[in-house]
Chain A
């Protein structure tokens, strides 16, 4: 912690420093998109057929990202599973998208104001049982 006080409990805010400085793999670039606006952490990324076909020609991180994206996942999941800095994943995903190896689905922010979508989420959550495995009354 910069202020010297350790967190009371819970995970360490920062893990051990990686052997390779994070932005080395992005050649120092930190702006993930042309607009300079980073894609949201929940942005879904999925490999294209070209990406999977060219897997063997890709360098370490790019290879790992495309391989992991056989299944669609968020940039946050990619960063966590591959132990890469979130912004490194953003930069590399944009490169891979530009090369046609990944599709990046930037979420439509309008869905949070879409009552139909919210009701679907609410209904699905209500169906989740308690830990005891007992269905809750749908009051």
Chain B
């Protein structure tokens, strides 16, 4: 699947042999306005870019996998940024809309992701259920990060954990999407979890 061009004469191919970095992808999920783009922008080395992604929209109330849900394709904006780890490795952060109506179907974006960070606004917990469910079902390492708007969180972490019904093994943290160090630490929580899964 990875075609390699036969070596062209060096004189005419000064840039053809550029070996791209290995991409490592993380997904930042959460409802609209929860701070995904802010978080990506706080740590990305480029201004967050936006592209349109097709997301398969699943009809509401589809817990019963035995019947086929009706699906339609919705186009949504996906914001993303990146961090160069070294010349051979690059971390990509993809922000994906995560409300209920997008169901389980971000496979197009999430396939191959090292992990996910679900950003939560405690005033609108409903917006992140779908993301939490998705990562749990797909067994993708993830953490839940409560975005402390203005440094305030309306509920304790215990209350949030109870309300979202996330397992104890899922890290639940408070962070500030505007602070680079805070976003960095949130991403590290997810990466450490992914590393644990490798047994390494």
Chain A contact residues, CB within 8 Å of chain B: 2-3, 7-15, 38, 40-50, 52-53, 70-74, 76-77, 79-81, 85-87, 97, 100, 103-109, 111-122, 124-126, 128-132, 136
Partner of B188, one of A53, A126, A129: A126
Q: Is the CB of B12 within 8 A of A76?
A: no
Residues of A within 8 A of B94 (CB): 41-42, 76
Nearest residue in A to B192 (C-beta to C-beta)? A122
Query: Whole-angstrom distance from the CB of B185 to the nearest CB of chain A?
Result: 8
Query: Whole-angstrom distance from the CB of B49 to the nearest CB of chain A?
Result: 4
Nearest residue in B to A14 (C-beta to C-beta)? B75
Q: Is the CB of A52 within 8 A of B24?
A: no
Residues of A within 8 A of B74 (CB): 2
Q: A139–B63 Cα gap in the complex (Å)?
A: 42
Query: Whole-angstrom distance from the CB of A53 to the nearest CB of chain B?
Result: 7
Number of contacts between A and B (CB, 8 Å)? 198
Q: A52–B8 Cα gap in the complex (Å)?
A: 12
Q: Is the CB of B24 within 8 A of A50?
A: no
Nearest residue in B to A3 (C-beta to C-beta)? B101
Interface status of B166 (Cβ within 8 A of chain A): no
Q: Is the CB of B53 within 8 A of A124?
A: no
Can you report 13 residue pairs joining A to B where beta carbons are below 8 Å apart? A10-B34, A11-B37, A15-B52, A48-B5, A53-B12, A72-B19, A85-B75, A86-B78, A112-B24, A117-B24, A121-B91, A131-B179, A136-B184
Q: Is the CB of A14 within 8 A of B76?
A: yes
Q: Is the CB of B32 within 8 A of A70?
A: no
Residues of A within 8 A of B86 (CB): 120, 124
Query: Whole-angstrom distance from the CB of B148 to the nearest CB of chain A?
Result: 15
A14-B92 contact given A112-B24, A121-B85, CB 8 Å threshold: no
Interface status of B65 (Cβ within 8 A of chain A): no
Residues 25 to 49 of chain B near chain A (Cβ within 8 Å)? 25, 32-34, 36-37, 42-43, 49
Query: Whole-angstrom distance from the CB of B4 to the nearest CB of chain A?
Result: 7
Q: Is the CB of B76 within 8 A of A44?
A: no
Interface status of B136 (Cβ within 8 A of chain A): no
Which 7 residue pairs are nearest across A and B when measured between Cβ atoms?
Answer: A115-B200, A72-B20, A130-B181, A44-B20, A49-B13, A80-B49, A7-B32
Interface status of B105 (Cβ within 8 A of chain A): no
Given A42-B112, A130-B184, 7 further pairs, Cβ under 8 A = A11-B37, A15-B77, A50-B8, A107-B112, A121-B24, A125-B83, A136-B184
Interface status of B103 (Cβ within 8 A of chain A): no
Q: Is the CB of A42 within 8 A of B200?
A: no
Residues of B within 8 A of A118 (CB): 114, 191, 194-195, 198, 200
Q: Is the CB of A47 within 8 A of B16?
A: yes
